[in-house]
Amino acid sequence: MVGVYGVMAYNVRRQRREFGIRIALGADQSRMRNLVVGRGLTLSAAGVSIGAFAAWLLTGLLKTMLNDVNPTDLTVFGATAAVVLFVAVAASYFPARSAGRVDPMVVLRDAVEHLTTAAARPRAIDPRPLRGAPGPATVWVAPFR
């Protein structure tokens, strides 16, 4: 379930500003953990249900390969789903802990710095002439650094 951990860690990193605002408005660490774990559980439950349905549809192909085992055994389907969901919750718990530890001041300060530096950057203008323009464009601004 390294993939579940990777996706959840990426989403937590991408949503740091949102988590910082939530914490600044009064959300505590347990609420942030529950939010992230709940999102991971929702995604995993959707994947398990789609996978179980697809496996149930494909059991007809496996009947010839299985000896003394019923291909539609509900205990096997249920146990597999429970194990996958448990591992998915465990994999999303660690990124959820980092979501609860976000410092709102650092996140908001980084957001303000990002906005001010992005506005101060010179923008490059395409030197190619516009369609219908009388002559070639002569305006050129220094490219990004």
pLDDT digits 0-9 by tens, 101-127: 888 888 888 877 777 775 666 666 655
Q: In this structure, what token pair is assigned to residue 100?
A: 């609860």
Calpha distance 25→130 (Å, rounded): 49
Per residue in 14-60, pLDDT (tens digit) is: 888 888 888 888 888 889 899 999 998 998 999 999 998 998 888 87
Question: Could you tell me the pLDDT band of residue 84, with boundaries at 50, 70 and 90?
Answer: very high
User: What pLDDT score does 110 carry?
Assistant: 80
Asked if the model's pLDDT at residue 129 lies above 60, the reply is: no
User: What pLDDT score does 47 carry?
Assistant: 92
Choose between 144 and 122: higher pLDDT. 122
Residue reference for tokens 């490219």: 143
Q: Is 44 exposed, middle or buried (0-12, 13-18, 19+ CB in 10 A)?
A: buried
Q: In this structure, what token pair is assigned to residue 126?
A: 């395409």
Mean pLDDT computed over every residue of the chain: 80
Give the HSE-up count for residue 94: Cα atoms under 13 Å, Cβ half-sphere.
Answer: 12
Q: In sequence order, what DSSP letters do the residues of 12-54 get, joined into one string?
A: HHHTHHHHHHHHHTT--HHHHHHHHHHHHHHHHHHHHHHHHHH
